[in-house]
Chain A
Amino acid sequence: MKVIIHDLDPEEFLNAFSDLQNREDVRIIAETQGTMKKCIGCFGCWIKTPAHCIIKDSYNEMPTQCAGDEMIVISRCVYGGYSRFVKNVFDRSIGSGTPFFEIRNGELKHVMREKKGNGSVNFSVYMYGDTITDREKEMMTGLYNANKANMGQETIGNLHFIRDAYTEVPL
C-alpha cells in the first residue's frame, strides 16, 4: 500500500494526480472531512483502544490508515517542520506504535509492532516552499532522521526540499 499524506487542496491534488484516484493500492490522507481535531495526549490509542484514536471525528483511524510499505509526505515547510495538518496526522497516529520503550542504537524509542512482509517502509518526504532557510533545512533534516529512526531500523527513503509540489513530486 502506498500512503500519501498531504496538506494541499484535496480537490486540486486529485485533479493534478488523477491516476491516483480509486486505486486499491493507494490511500490518500488529506483534510477532506472537516478540520482535524488535535491530539490531546490522552494515550487512549495505547491504553484504552490500542491502535485506534478515541477522539470522535473522521480521522480517528490514523494509526492504521497511515500504515503502508510506502509513505509519501507532501508538506509546506513551516518553521523548519511539517505544517499543522501533516503534523496532526502524525500526532493522531502514535497508536501505530506501542507505549513501551526500548533502546535502539543507544537511544530510547517506542517498541514497534511486527510489520507484514520484510518490515521495510519507504518514507519519502517533500517539503515545499519558496523561502525555506538554511536553518529550516537543518531542523527539518534532523526531524526527518528522527522520524525515520522512530519508525524502525528498516525505514528507508529521502527528504526533498522543493518549490512546487505539483511539478516536483514524482507521483
Chain B
Amino acid sequence: MKISMIMGSPKPKGSMSAHLIEEMTTAIGDAGDVQVFNAAKPERFDEVLSCDRLVFVYPLYFDSLPSHVITYLEELDAFIKEHPPKKKPSVYAVCNLGFYEGYQTKWSLGRIQCWADAVGLPWKAGLGLGAGPFLPHLPPVARKRTDKGKEQFLQLLLSDTPGDNIYTEPEIPKEMFVEMGNAGWIPKLEANGLTVDDVMHPKPKQD
C-alpha cells in the first residue's frame, strides 16, 4: 500500500508536522510504503497521486490551514481535473495546534474534507492533536489519550475505513498547560533581550 504524506508546515526543519510524519512512518512500518511531499513545493503531482492514501499533515494557523497549503490544494485540484487519476486515493488529515483543545482543529480538517468533495476523492477521517508542539516534551503518562488517538487514526488509515474525526488533549490540567506554555516564552524573549512588557506594549516601527 502506497501512502503519500503532504507536509504542510512552512518550517524547513524541526516542525511538529515533520515529527508526526516520522512517527507515523515508523508506526506504519512494513504495512505501507510512505512517500513524503512538501506543500511548499507544489510539484510531482503524478507521484503524489499514485498512492492508496493521501494524508495532509499540517499545523493550525489562525484557526485554519496555513496559506501555502491552500495554494497547494488549489494546484492539486487543477491537476486532478486535468489529469484524473486512475485510482482514487482516500484522503486523511492530521492537524496539530498549540492550544490545548484538539477540537479547535475541526474547521481546518473540514476544509480538507471540502477539498476532497471538490476533487471527487473519498474523505475518510481527521486527527486533531491539542498541545501539539508540547507533546514530545511531556512524560508518557501525560500522553496516553494522545497516543490512543494516534493509534485509532492509524487503524482507520491502514484499513481504509471512514470515521469521525478524532480530537485529543494531553492528560494535564488546562490551567497547568497555560502556565507551562506562558513560562516557555520567557527564555525565548530574554534570548532576544526582550521582556514580557516589550510584547504587551510593542514599540512602533523603526524606520
Binding site for B on A (CB under 8 A): 38-43, 46-48, 50-52, 61, 64, 78-85, 87-88, 90-91, 94-95, 98-103, 107-109, 113, 133, 135-136, 138-140, 142-143, 146-147, 150
Contact = CB atoms under 8 A, between A and B. Distances in A.
Given A135-B110, A139-B111, 12 more contacts: A38-B66, A38-B67, A48-B192, A80-B111, A85-B67, A87-B65, A91-B67, A98-B200, A101-B182, A107-B104, A108-B101, A147-B62
B113 interface: yes
Interface string B142-178: 0000000000000000000000000000000011011
B138 interface: no
B40 to A, nearest CB: 8
A99 B199 contact: yes
Contacts of B202: 50-52, 95, 113
A80 B114 contact: yes
Contacts of B45: none
Contacts of B117: 133, 135
Nearest to B68: A38
Contacts of A48: 192, 194
Contacts of A87: 61-62, 64-67, 70
B205 A84 contact: no
Interface string B98-111: 01110010111011
23 contacts: A38-B10, A40-B11, A41-B9, A42-B11, A50-B202, A52-B202, A61-B205, A79-B70, A83-B70, A84-B67, A85-B67, A87-B67, A87-B70, A88-B67, A90-B62, A107-B99, A108-B178, A113-B201, A133-B114, A139-B107, A142-B106, A142-B110, A147-B63
Q: Is the interface of B mostly helix, strand, loop or mixed?
A: helix
Contacts of A85: 67
A9 B11 CA distance: 30
Given A38-B10, A79-B111, A101-B99, A64 B205 contact: yes
B205 A52 contact: yes
B130 to A, nearest CB: 8
Nearest to B64: A81
B16 to A, nearest CB: 10
A95 B199 CA distance: 9
B140 to A, nearest CB: 23
Given A39-B10, A87-B65, A107-B101, A100 B114 contact: no
A139 B202 CA distance: 34
Contacts of A142: 106-107, 110
Contact of B114 (A46, A47, A109, A136): A136
Nearest to A44: B192
Contacts of A107: 99, 101, 104
A7 B108 CA distance: 20
B132 interface: no
Contacts of B204: 64
A39 to B, nearest CB: 7
B178 A102 contact: yes
